[in-house]
């Protein structure tokens, strides 16, 4: 079995809002790739749920007020309690547009100095 990921993950610390259809869950993205993201949140996210994600792409902890959040569709792949009392969850992007891919790539290039 091949467990290699299709896209490399990069460590980040980005504020996110996850829209479950009934609730808004505030989260912090801990890693990001073109395929999805890992988040820390206070509330559990239901596995296999289709969610909306608003991610605030910031550099050095500074959010540009003129920059709109990146809005994506996601699916909760897994969610587990964390040692800190909240939850960790893995979300994948089942369909990502070329513009969304470009925004993530541009952000990751700036983040990694590439």
d(CA 81, CA 87): 4
Element spanning 27, H or E: strand 24-32
Q: For each of the chain's 114 residues, which pLDDT tens digit applies?
A: 445 567 888 999 999 999 998 899 999 999 999 999 999 999 999 999 999 999 988 766 555 566 788 999 999 999 999 988 899 999 999 999 999 999 999 888 887 776
How does pLDDT run across 46-59, given as a tens digit for each residue?
999 999 999 988 76
| Sign, Cα dihedral of 32, 15, 19, 98 | negative
With H, G, I as helix, E, B as strand and everything else as coil, classify residue 83.
Answer: coil
Domain boundaries, the chain: 10-112
- Would you state the pLDDT for residue 60? 60
- Compute the distance between CA of residue 85 and CA of residue 100 in angstroms, rounded to an integer: 32
Instruction: Give Cβ neighbours of residue 87 (< 8 Å, ≥ 6 apart).
Output: 40, 41, 42, 43, 44, 45, 79, 80, 81
Amino acid 63: pLDDT = 56
Q: What is the pLDDT of residue 2?
A: 44
Number of other CB atoms surrounding residue 8 within 10 Å: 13
Inter-residue contact 56 to 72 (CB < 8 Å): no
- Arch. (CATH architecture) of 10-112: Beta Barrel (2.40)
Residue in the structure block whose two tokens are 């596995």:
47
């Amino acid at each position: 079995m091949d467990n290699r990921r299709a896209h490399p993950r990069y460590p980040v610390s980005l504020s996110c809002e996850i829209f479950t259809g009934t609730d808004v869950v505030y989260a912090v993205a801990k890693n990001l790739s073109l395929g999805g993201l890992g988040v820390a949140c206070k509330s559990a996210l239901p596995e296999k749920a289709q969610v909306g994600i608003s991610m605030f792409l910031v550099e050095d902890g500074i959010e540009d007020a003129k920059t709109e959040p990146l809005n994506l569709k996601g699916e909760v792949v897994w969610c587990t309690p964390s040692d800190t009392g909240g939850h960790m969850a893995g979300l994948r992007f089942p369909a990502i547009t070329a513009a969304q891919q470009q925004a993530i790539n541009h952000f990751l290039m700036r983040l990694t100095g590439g």
